[in-house]
């Protein structure tokens, strides 16, 4: 393989828990809640899928929100509208918290690399294998990689909102292959979403899937990538 493409959320990084996400925003706003109330709200936010990178929504969406949801990763505005729209399905102590929650999830401190991410990226760099990050996302994730020391191992970032195209559209993977100077047949795509990341196969890329689990529960799922490259 001449290059490896990685998804971001659920593949190289994991978002914090919904409870931690909510607690951080409440603390920043100076709005302490009783533990039982905070737990209830966090459970409701998780149920509606309001945390980007967290679990998918488990409730039917209003038609107008569903229309935005389907194309949410094509622009920063749509991404914010989709996720703040979901959070607004839950009553919060202050309406301003909906935007504060969205802003929180973009901070590097809200993300944790999987335990083997740095090791695998370093090994690929040592092998001379190009690395790209291909993500369906509505904001610039580069600061997350920089803050966690992984940016030096990434040769190209191809983010859906910057191109107006989202996975599984093969055009996004083609853009990444071109950026890395690699033919699709010589590229491996690694992701956790069989539909979105599996779109690379239509272009001729090999595809390898990992499970979207909390970081502590997935210590070494990325290491087989090195064997696949070799």
153 pLDDT band (50/70/90 cuts)?
A: very high
Q: Look at residue 81 in the predicted model and tell me its pLDDT.
A: 98
Each residue's pLDDT tens digit, 3-47: 999 999 999 999 999 999 999 999 999 998 999 999 999 999 999
Q: What is the pLDDT of residue 142?
A: 98
For each of the domains in the chain, give its residue range(s) and CATH number, in order of start: 3-14+111-229 (3.40.50.1000), 15-109 (no CATH)
Q: At 111, is the pLDDT very low, low, confident or very high (cuts 50, 70, 90)?
A: very high
Instruction: State the pLDDT at residue 37.
Output: 97
pLDDT tens per residue across span 53-95: 999 999 999 999 999 999 999 999 999 999 999 999 999 999 9
Mean pLDDT of 98-113: 98
Q: What is the CA radius of gyration of the chain?
A: 18
- List helix spans (H) across 88-164: 97-105, 117-127, 142-147, 160-163
For position 73, what pLDDT does the model report? 98
Peptide bond preceding 168 in cis form (omega within 30 of 0) = yes
Its pTM surpasses 0.85: yes
- 8 Å CB contact between 32 and 95: no
Longest Cα–Cα distance in the chain: 55
pLDDT at res. 2: 97
Q: What is the DSSP letter of 9?
A: B
Are 143 and 112 in contact by the 8 Å Cβ rule? The answer is no
| pLDDT tens digits, 178-221 | 999 999 999 999 999 999 999 999 999 999 999 999 999 999 99
Q: Extract the runs of DSSP E, i.e. beta strands, from 79-191.
A: 111-113, 130-135, 156-159, 187-191
Q: What is the pLDDT of residue 215?
A: 95
pLDDT score recorded for residue 76: 98
Q: How far is CA 205 from CA 1, 158, 222, in A?
A: 10, 16, 18
What is the predicted pLDDT for the residue at 31?
94
Which of 28, 18, 16, 19 shows the shortest CA–CA distance to 94?
Answer: 28
Does residue 133 contact residue 5 with C-beta atoms inside 8 Å? yes
């Amino acid at each position: 393989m001449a290059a490896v493409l990685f998804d971001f959320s659920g593949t190289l990084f994991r978002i914090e828990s919904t409870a931690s996400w909510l607690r951080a925003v409440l603390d920043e706003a100076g709005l302490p809640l009783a533990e039982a109330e905070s737990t209830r709200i966090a459970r409701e936010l998780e149920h509606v899928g309001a945390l980007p990178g967290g679990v998918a929504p488990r409730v039917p969406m209003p038609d107008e929100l569903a229309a935005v949801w389907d194309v949410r990763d094509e622009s920063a505005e749509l991404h914010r509208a989709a996720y703040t729209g979901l959070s607004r399905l839950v009553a919060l102590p202050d309406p301003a918290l909906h935007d504060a929650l969205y802003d929180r999830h973009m901070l590097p401190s809200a993300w944790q690399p999987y335990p083997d991410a740095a090791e695998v990226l370093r090994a690929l760099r040592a092998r001379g294998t190009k690395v790209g990050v291909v993500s369906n996302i509505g904001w610039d994730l580069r600061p997350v990689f920089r803050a966690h020391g992984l940016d030096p191992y990434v040769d190209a970032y191809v983010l859906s909102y910057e191109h107006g195209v989202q996975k599984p559209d093969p055009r996004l993977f083609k853009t990444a292959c071109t950026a890395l100077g690699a033919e699709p047949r010589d590229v491996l795509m690694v992701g956790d979403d069989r539909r979105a990341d599996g779109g690379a196969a239509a272009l001729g890329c090999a595809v390898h899937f990992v499970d979207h689990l909390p970081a502590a529960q997935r210590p070494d799922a990325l290491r087989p990538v090195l064997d696949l490259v070799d």
